[in-house]
């Protein structure tokens, strides 16, 4: 377990160093307009070194760790190149602000996570040595919407066709912030008491809940659910120490969060009540960038020329 814990800390430190380096190179663009381009080449060189390591004979835990590093470092390289191309040379530029960033806070001796004007503490939840999702432009948009929803003390509601990454993106954001995220597959058989118990657990433990296929619940249950989740949101907005759900008062951890994913237009789906819609910030999720995902898979298996190969595979 100790070996697996190092995976999360390694990824966090890598993210902190990336943020520090990008902002350092942004400062250098005042003297050299190609500073960020040099940063991109440096990141590409580091990425190729990781790909060469994957080609060797290594144990499975280390291989998983390296594949996570490759996934996140390839995104870091792409963002550095995008910042250079779009001439975003200031740390307060939107293209940079919209990225999930990590900074070490020497006063608190802790890590802070920033994205736009939303700030979070790193959660330090033990999540094991699992894989990480390929970060595409769609993933970035989901991250911004979800974190802004949490910043505004609301839930987030990704909606779209099956297989577009709604639930996986939510789980990966939780991984990035080191928060435990529990996925609940909603069914018409679930009643308001079941949901009330789940909300109590989330509010007291500060964990995230992702309610998959939320609109499969019957309208009567959704109506009561609006009052249950509304009570939690109101308590967080008021900075209250406790929250009352279904007549029970319990301690409140304000870092809890709720996400609902929906497939609109399918048979047997309910329309959400207006009161419930107001508590969740919506985002439409469409087709993911399959070329980028293919490129990451190829790099993780040891292909250096993955970008060109990925385009050929996708075209085929």
Structural domains for the chain: 2-129+289-315 (1.20.58.1120), 137-284 (3.40.50.300)
What pLDDT is recorded for position 230? 94
> Is 281 a residue whose pLDDT tops 60?
yes
Tell me how far apart the alpha carbons of residues 252 and 247 are, in angstroms, rounded to a whole number.
15
Mean pLDDT score, 245-257: 93
> Is 4 a residue whose pLDDT tops 60?
no
Report phi then psi at 100, rounded to 5.
-75, 115
Structure tokens of 259? 């996400």
Report phi then psi at 108, rounded to 5.
-85, -10
| HEC-encoded secondary structure of 228-293 | HHHHHHHHHHCCCCEEEECCEEEECCCCCEEEECECCCCCCCCCCCHHHHCCEEEEECCCCCHHHH
Tell me how far apart the alpha carbons of residues 140 and 101 are, in angstroms, rounded to a whole number.
12
Find, among 284, 191, 204, 214, the residue nearest to 242 by Cα: 204
Residue whose tokens read 């709604």: 166
Mean pLDDT score, 96-125: 94
What pLDDT is recorded for position 162? 86
> Is 1 a residue whose pLDDT tops 50?
no
pLDDT tens sequence across 36-78 = 999 999 999 999 999 999 988 889 999 999 999 999 999 999 9
Length reported for the chain: 316
Q: What percentage of the chain reaches a pLDDT higher than 90?
A: 81
For residue 158, the cross-strand partners are 283
Using DSSP, state whether 302 is helix, strand or coil.
Answer: coil
Structure tokens of 185? 């597959």
pLDDT tens sequence across 221-231 = 999 999 999 99
Using DSSP, state whether 45 is helix, strand or coil.
Answer: helix
The model's confidence at residue 289, banded by pLDDT at 50, 70 and 90, is: confident
DSSP string, 190-225: --HHHHHHHHHHHHHHT-EEEEETGGGS-HHHHHHH
Report phi then psi at 179, rounded to 5.
-115, 145
Q: What percentage of the chain reaches a pLDDT higher than 70?
A: 98
What pLDDT is recorded for position 3? 57
pLDDT tens sequence across 137-172 = 999 999 999 999 999 999 999 999 888 899 999 999
Per DSSP, the chain holds a count of helices (H) and strands (E) of 11, 10
Q: Can you state the angle between helices 2-28 and 60-85, rounded to 10 degrees?
A: 20
Mean pLDDT score, 297-305: 89
Structure tokens of 208? 């995230």
Residue whose tokens read 């390289």: 77
Tell me how far apart the alpha carbons of residues 298 and 310 are, in angstroms, rounded to a whole number.
7
Question: Which run of H or of E encompasses 118?
Answer: strand 118-121
What pLDDT is recorded for position 5? 57
Q: What is the pTM of this model?
A: 0.93
The model's confidence at residue 2, banded by pLDDT at 50, 70 and 90, is: very low
Residue whose tokens read 């740390």: 91
């Amino acid at each position: 377990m100790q070996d697996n814990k190092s995976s999360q800390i390694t990824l966090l430190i890598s993210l902190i160093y990336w943020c520090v380096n990008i902002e350092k190179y942004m400062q250098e663009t005042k003297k050299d307009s190609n500073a960020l381009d040099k940063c991109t080449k440096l990141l590409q060189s580091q990425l190729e070194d990781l790909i060469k390591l994957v080609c060797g004979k290594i144990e499975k835990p280390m291989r998983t760790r390296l594949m996570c590093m490759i996934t996140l470092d390839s995104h870091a390289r792409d963002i550095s190149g995008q910042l250079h191309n779009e001439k975003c040379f200031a740390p307060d530029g939107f293209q940079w602000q919209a990225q999930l960033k990590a900074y070490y806070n020497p006063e608190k001796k802790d890590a802070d996570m920033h994205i736009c004007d939303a700030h979070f503490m790193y959660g330090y939840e033990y999540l094991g040595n699992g894989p990480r999702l390929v970060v595409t432009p769609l993933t970035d948009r989901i991250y911004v919407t979800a974190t802004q929803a949490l910043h505004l003390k609301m839930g987030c509601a990704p909606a779209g066709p099956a297989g577009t990454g709604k639930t996986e993106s939510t789980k990966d954001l939780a991984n990035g912030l080191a928060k435990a995220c529990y996925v609940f597959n909603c069914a018409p058989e679930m009643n308001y008491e079941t949901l009330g118990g789940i909300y109590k657990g989330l509010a007291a433990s500060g964990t995230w809940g992702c309610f998959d296929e939320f609109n499969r619940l019957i309208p009567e249950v959704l109506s009561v659910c609006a009052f249950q989740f509304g009570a939690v949101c109101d308590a967080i907005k008021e900075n209250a120490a406790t929250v009352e759900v279904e007549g029970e008062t319990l301690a409140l951890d304000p870092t809890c969060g709720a996400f609902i994913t929906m497939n609109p237009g399918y048979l047997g789906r309910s329309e959400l009540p207006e009161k419930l819609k107001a508590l969740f910030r919506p985002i439409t999720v469409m087709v993911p960038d399959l070329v980028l995902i293919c490129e990451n898979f190829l790099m993780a298996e040891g292909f250096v020329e993955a970008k060109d190969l990925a385009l050929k595979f996708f075209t085929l």
